[in-house]
Amino acid sequence: MSQSVLASSGGVGLEAARRRTFAVISHPDAGKSTMTEALALHARVIGQAGAVHGKGDRKGVVSDWMAMEQQRGISVTSAALQFSFGDTVVNLLDTPGHADFSEDTYRVLTAVDSAVMLLDAAKGLEPQTLKLFEVCRQRSIPVITFINKWDRPGHDALALMDEIEQRIGLKPTPLTWPVGIAGHFKGVVDRRTGQFTRMQRSPGGADLAIEEEMTDAEAAERFGDEWTTANEELELLTMTGADHDQEAFLAATSTPVLFGAAVANLGVRQLLDILVELAPPAGARPTAAGGEQPVDAGFSGFVFKIQANMNRAHRDQVAFMRICSGRFERGMIVTHATTGKPFTTKYAQQIFGQGRDTIDEAFPGDVVGLVNATALGIGDTLYADKKVQYPPLPSFPPEHFAVVRTDDTGAFKRFRRGIEQLDGEGVVQVLRSDQRGDGTPVFAAVGPMQFEVATYRLEAEFGVKVKLEFLPYEIAAVTDAAGKEILRTESNVEVMTRVRDGALLAVFPHRWRLRTVAGRHPDLHLDAPIDITAA
């Protein structure tokens, strides 16, 4: 279990300066959950890593708490870990990498101050990686890049640097450089000090890596041509000006780069040190009104995630809140910005994967779990003293639709309760169709794996087996009441109500049909679908 991060003294500004709140993001299978666990291992808040033999045996990864994740070795939901590392409080958010869960990942990105992007040394920049880099750049989120799996065969290190710069437009500024090509990893040179650290996987790979600092002469004698090649590459990096610039990093125009292998705990210590040293602390946050909320203002925060049944012993619901300003105290009465109603924060917890501890106070940058906060929704702002509201969180148009039914009439109450829970968490969007009635809701999803998660959880958590009937729609656009009446005359088009907010969604089988209908009815209101990478 994580160390206590409760502060006994010091002002809010000082406490905010101690926080490092970041997300670990990447394409699927690049090693996010393994890296999350490796960082916790190096901070000495867990004893051994569970991710030592790849996904098949990765049952112990602390951030994958859902049974489905542990069984299949994938992350389908984001997870929060909080721990101390020296004088720094680390709030680490692990995210799902699969594109079907992009909405969850992008919501997490609204709650962090920086990100660690993992690149697979053998695969380089993959489609989801490119999208995530673009989102970070648009949101001005500083990104540290970690070239992972350097203990396996992969691309040339310089070629990866060129790929980052040419395809993303961020200037890579390596802080460590590998000695030995991918698959023959000997260690890294710290470019700022020139110190070479030899790295070796610990027996079994579950403990901290074995590290040995060596002089240039020792390294040259030990590694010969590999050492010579690394030094030639280092000279080239210096000649091309690939040196770290803190201002450019914070402006999200350059990305520091490190090399290692998370599954073997190689290079992870260096990454943790760099995060503490260079990643931005909690700072002023933009508000919906267009200003900024300084960290030392009155308490405020927003909910970026809701998750139920993380702990089967409690069967409760947790709202994850990013604290933006002021000091949070458990039990304080705050105001719900949207409704204006008071809200009591009686059950507040520090989250560590599936584990949790009650906390008494927290500060800007911290992520607090509010238990059984059923009055809260994703994107809600809470504040004390002067009113503040944070921008709404991104919501993306669904591209997959399915009617959900159960044949068990005796389970209908549990069926409805489960549907409401999944909708509140944002696992899927739930739509109501006039053609089918309230008893047969429609699931709408960005990607088809969301259906799999939803049906799994309905059975595992609510004891309800369901059947899905897929609908022939691929695109949705928001319309209005007048548009609903117009569209009644069109075939292969349906208007449904989004339960969460009452919005009317017009669904079409493809873009061609949408364009045809829009051209036929010039007065028809249809909000153009958005690209999730531009949200």
Q: Could you tell me the residue ranges of all domains in the chain?
A: 22-78+96-280, 286-383, 400-534
CATH topology of domain 400-534: Alpha-Beta Plaits (3.30.70)
- The pLDDT of residue 56 is 39
In the structure encoding, which two tokens stand for residue 247, read together? 């201002």
How far is the C-alpha of 416 from the C-alpha of 49, rounded, in Å? Answer: 39
Non-local (6+) Cβ contacts of 202 within 8 A are: 208, 209, 210, 264, 265
What is the residue-wise DSSP string for 429-497? EEEEETTT-TTS-EEEESSTHHHHHHHHHHHHHH----EEEE-S--EEEEE-HHHHHHHTTSTT-EEEE
Kindly provide the residue ranges of all beta strands, DSSP E only, lying in 186-239, ordered along the sequence: 187-190, 196-200, 210-214
Q: What pLDDT was estimated at residue 58?
A: 42
Q: What do you get for the CA distance between the two ends of the chain, in Å?
A: 36
Listing from the earlier edge strand, what are the strands of the sheet with 467-470?
467-470, 400-405, 442-445, 429-433, 494-498, 504-508, 475-479
- What b-and-e string marks burial along 280-291, b requiring 16 or more CB atoms within 10 Å of the CB? bbbbbbebeeee
The reply to whether 286-383 and 400-534 are identical in fold is no
Burial of 472 (0-12, 13-18, 19+ CB in 10 A): exposed
In the prediction, which pLDDT does 40 show? 83
CA atoms of 22 and 249, how far apart (whole Å)? 14
At 65 the pLDDT is 43
In the DSSP assignment, the letter for residue 184 is S
Neighbouring residues of 531: CB distance < 8 A, sequence distance ≥ 6: none
- Identify the CATH class of 286-383: alpha beta
The CA-based diameter of the chain, rounded to the nearest angstrom, is 81
pLDDT tens for the chain, 535 residues long, are 333 343 333 499 999 999 999 999 887 777 878 888 888 887 766 544 443 233 334 444 444 445 554 454 444 455 678 888 999 999 998 776 555 556 777 888 899 999 999 999 999 998 878 878 888 888 899 999 999 999 999 999 999 999 999 999 899 999 999 999 999 999 999 999 999 999 998 766 667 888 999 999 999 999 999 999 999 999 999 999 999 999 999 999 999 999 999 989 999 999 999 999 999 999 999 999 999 999 999 999 999 988 876 555 556 678 899 999 999 999 999 999 999 999 999 888 876 655 678 888 999 999 998 987 888 888 999 999 999 999 988 767 788 999 999 988 888 899 998 998 888 888 889 999 988 887 899 999 888 888 988 898 898 888 999 999 999 999 999 999 999 999 999 999 999 999 988 989 999 999 999 999 999 999 999 986 544 333 3
Binding site membership: which residues? 94-98
User: Bridge partners of 293?
Assistant: 285
- Nearest-CA neighbor of 278 among 111, 144, 112? 144
CA-CA distance, 103 to 106, in Å (whole number)?
A: 5
Is residue 4 classed exposed, middle or buried when 0-12, 13-18 and 19+ CB atoms within 10 A define those classes?
exposed
Per the annotation, binding residues for GTP are 94-98
Enter the tokens of residue 375: 């009055």
Which whole-number Å values give the CA distances from 316 to 122, 307, 419, in the listed order?
41, 9, 16
Which helix (H) or strand (E) segment holds residue 525: the answer is: none
Alpha-carbon torsion 199, 181, 119, 55, what sign? negative
Q: Which pLDDT score is estimated for 428?
A: 87
Query: Model's pTM, two decimal places?
Result: 0.81
Residue closest to 300 by CA, chosen among 339, 327, 330, 318: 327
Domain made up of 22-78+96-280: CATH architecture: 3-Layer(aba) Sandwich (3.40)
What is the structure's pLDDT at 127?
Answer: 81
Q: What is the rounded CA–CA span in Å between residue 463 and residue 280? A: 45
pLDDT recorded at residue 352: 63
Output the pLDDT for position 208: 80
pLDDT of residue 374: 80
Which tokens in the block code for residue 320?
């994850």
Q: What is the pLDDT of residue 75?
A: 47
pLDDT at 205 (0 to 100)? 60
